[in-house]
Structures are given as structure tokens and as C-alpha cells.
Amino acid sequence: MTRSHFKDPPKKSLGQHFLHERGIIDRIVQAVNPKPEDRLVEIGPGQGAITFPLLDVHGRLTVIEFDRDLIFPLTEAARAHGTLRVIHRNVLEVDFTALAGEEGPLRLVGNLPYNLSSPILFHALEHAAVIRDMTFMLQKEVVDRMAAGPGSKIYGRLSVMLQAYCAVTPLFNVPPGAFRPPPKVDSAVVRMVPRAPEKIGIDDPDLFAAVVRDAFGQRRKTLRNALSKICDTSAIEAAGVRPDARAEQLEVADFIRMANALAASSSH
């Protein structure tokens, strides 16, 4: 792998921080542990820090890159490593379900731009049925929130939404010095494995999302007040949840049960 193909510095406007620490790169590749039949898709390859080692191990890779100036150098540099398919688009506009097609599930990898990490995670959730797993590098604070449990100050909408659909496992932390330029925050690598549809048990995904959103909309409010636009106290009680509880006290299963009870009552 050589930097000679890449002339332009990282773009602050795109939140670019290029990974360069070889030890960290090797740990990410080991965490992904690609098998010959896998369909790997990398989000935001940048200057290829993870791309080329993955190609060396796997031989073929699809990458999604928004920065036009990186397309040609990525393509040229990849020739020495394997077969690279480049999709030049905003990842939020990529239909992963269509990309998966009939060839089987995708495995997503990426050092995600920190200013877009939550939208990208929610976009991936919409296509969870065709995603086998996701190995992402994110701001450590975001990973902590993703994996937080009830009772924690950082347990919130992101925690519940992701854990309802995926098993979330933080893998290891990454210091700022592993990037060029160094970000002002620590980073972390996390693995997300979508649950089988029958194990998720959410009857109405839109209603579930609305319940979680409103419940955490004003954290200090009790559920009775926070969910007043969606349901009344009796509906909360009918789901076996205390109306005077606050969102941060509820397990993920409580939110699912409450949303399903509301869905069932509204269908009659």
C-alpha cells in the first residue's frame, strides 16, 4: 500500500480522519475475519487503510465513497491488492437491499465519519434483513451509548433502537494518534449483528420507533407525560409498564412489549 496515489489532504468539511496505525488496522481486519464466500462492503474507504489489507486477505471488495477526489487513486492503488468495486454515492442514498440482491447477505465495515455516524447506523438498520454483521469504527462516546444498559445516564434512543434489532458488542478502543489528522476524541470499534426477524418480535416498527423517540424526547418526564401524544396511562399499564417510570429505567424488552400492546389495541 502506498500514499503516492493520494495527493489531497483530509477534508475537514467531510469529517475525514484517515487511519494509519498498522496495529489497529490489523486488529480490525482480524475482527472482520473475512471468509471466501463473504460479500464485504466498506463504507468510507478514505485512502484505503482498511481497504487494501482487506483486499489482500479477501481478494474482492465493494466500497462506498462520497469524495470524488478519492475514487481514481483508490482504484489505481487497489490494482495491486485485488478486485475493487467503487460506488460513488452518499451512503445514506445506497439501497443495501438492492445491493445484496440474490447473492446473499452483506458484511459492512467502515471507519464512519463521526458527523454522520447515527444517520448511517439507522440507515443500515432499515436494511438489517440483508446484513450479516457490521464492524464499524466510531467515536468512543457513541459506541458507549450504543451498548449502554438501563439506568445509565447515556442509555437512550440510540441504545434501545440498536439493541432491539442487533447484538451490540464493543471490541476495542482507538487513540486519536492512530489517525491523520488526530481527532479531538477517542474512537472505538464495535460489532453489530442483526437479530433474526423472528427474534426481534416488533409488530409495528414505525410505532416502536415513535414510542422510543417520544419516551426519550424529554428524559426527565415520566412515561405518562412523555408518551401523552401516543397513548394514555391505561395503555402503558396494560403493557405491564409503570406510567410513573422514566424511559432510562426500561429494558429494551419493555419498549417492545409496550409498542406491541399499542399496536394490538389500535388494530381493533
CA distances from 261 to 115, 134, 155, 211, 249 (A): 35, 31, 23, 11, 19
Phi, psi of 138 (to 5 degrees): -140, 170
Residues for the chain: how many in total?
A: 268
The verdict on whether residue 17 carries a ligand-binding annotation is yes
Residue at which a domain ends, from 175, 197, 219: 197
What CATH code is carried by the domain that includes residue 247?
1.10.8.100
Over residues 167-221, the pLDDT tens digits come to 999 999 999 999 888 888 999 999 999 999 889 999 999 999 999 999 999 888 9
| Residue 118 sits in the same domain as residue 52 | yes
Over residues 98-139, the pLDDT tens digits come to 999 988 899 999 999 888 899 999 999 999 999 999 999 999
Q: What domain range includes position 213?
A: 205-266
Burial letters 228-245, b for 16+ CB under 10 A, else e: eebbeeebbebbebebee
- Placement of cell 491488492 in the chain: 81
The verdict on whether residue 123 carries a ligand-binding annotation is no
The verdict on whether residue 111 carries a ligand-binding annotation is yes
| Residue 93 sits in the same domain as residue 142 | yes
Over residues 67-101, the pLDDT tens digits come to 898 899 999 999 999 999 999 999 999 999 999 99
| Residue 85 sits in the same domain as residue 157 | yes
| Residue 72 sits in the same domain as residue 173 | yes
> How many domains does the chain contain in total?
2
How many CA atoms lie within 13 Å of 244's alpha carbon, on the beta-carbon side?
Answer: 0
| Residue 177 sits in the same domain as residue 229 | no
| Residue 64 sits in the same domain as residue 189 | yes
pLDDT band for position 265 (cuts 50, 70, 90): confident
pTM: predicted TM-score of the whole model, two decimal places: 0.90
The verdict on whether residue 58 carries a ligand-binding annotation is no
The stretch 48-59 carries a mean pLDDT of 94
| Residue 70 sits in the same domain as residue 174 | yes
| Residue 73 sits in the same domain as residue 95 | yes
The verdict on whether residue 198 carries a ligand-binding annotation is no
d(CA 244, CA 134) in angstroms, rounded, equals: 37
